[in-house]
Structure 1
Amino acid sequence: MRKIISVAVAFGLIFGLSFAKSQDADAASVKHYANCKALNKVYKGGVAKNSKVKNKGGKTHYKPYVSTALYNAHHKLDRDKDGIACER
């Protein structure tokens, strides 16, 4: 019984550490854009933090790209605080 518990704990630690490293790698690989003009060259509809956010600012022409890490890096560019940065 002890052996099973120790194996389970070891597996949990290894899995937990590898998951944390992958999240850090995703956050580190996010490109930073200086302003909305630069961001919109790559992501025409802007960047949404998740797929459930709705645009407060009226009609848009493009659908936003969904990425929590990218949104978190550019949340200051979200002027109306609706969860979509640089929407067009």
Structure 2
Amino acid sequence: MMKRLLKVVLSFGLVLGISYGAGGSAQVVDAKTKIVKFKNCKDMNKVYKGGVAKSSKVKNKGGKTKYKPFVSKALYDANKARDRDKDGIACER
């Protein structure tokens, strides 16, 4: 009886955890271009640790960073609002 109750509780927790995690979509994908528009920098940094730069020639103006940014003009343009210091790198870390 105890094993069965434990299985039910664990199953319920697993289902609840999966459905809770899937409900909060962190990004929007443009169907035509397949470019991702992130909801915030935290979500972008999960995928691109150093953020996204519009070109390889831009330099960070916000101070020392830990990671190198991913370079993509289209991805940067879709997430331009995430570039607080307007240096050409969105969500740099």
Provide TM-score, normalisation by structure 2: 0.65
**Number of residues paired by the alignment?**
63
Q: Is 1:40 equivalent to 2:45 in the alignment?
A: yes
Residue from 63, 75, 81 that aligns with 2:86:
81
Q: Which runs of 5+ in 1 are unaligned?
A: 1-24
How far 1:31 sits from its partner (Å)?
Answer: 1.2
Runs of 4+ that moved beyond 4 A: none
1:32 is matched by which residue type in structure 2? Answer: K
More strand by percentage = 2
Q: Which runs of 5+ in 2 are unaligned?
A: 1-29
More helix by percentage = 1
Structure having greater relative contact order (Cα 8 Å, sep ≥ 6): 1
RMSD after superposition:
1.4
Q: Give the percent of matched residue pairs that are identical in Structure 1 and Structure 2.
A: 68
SS at match of 1:32: strand
Provide TM-score, normalisation by structure 1: 0.69
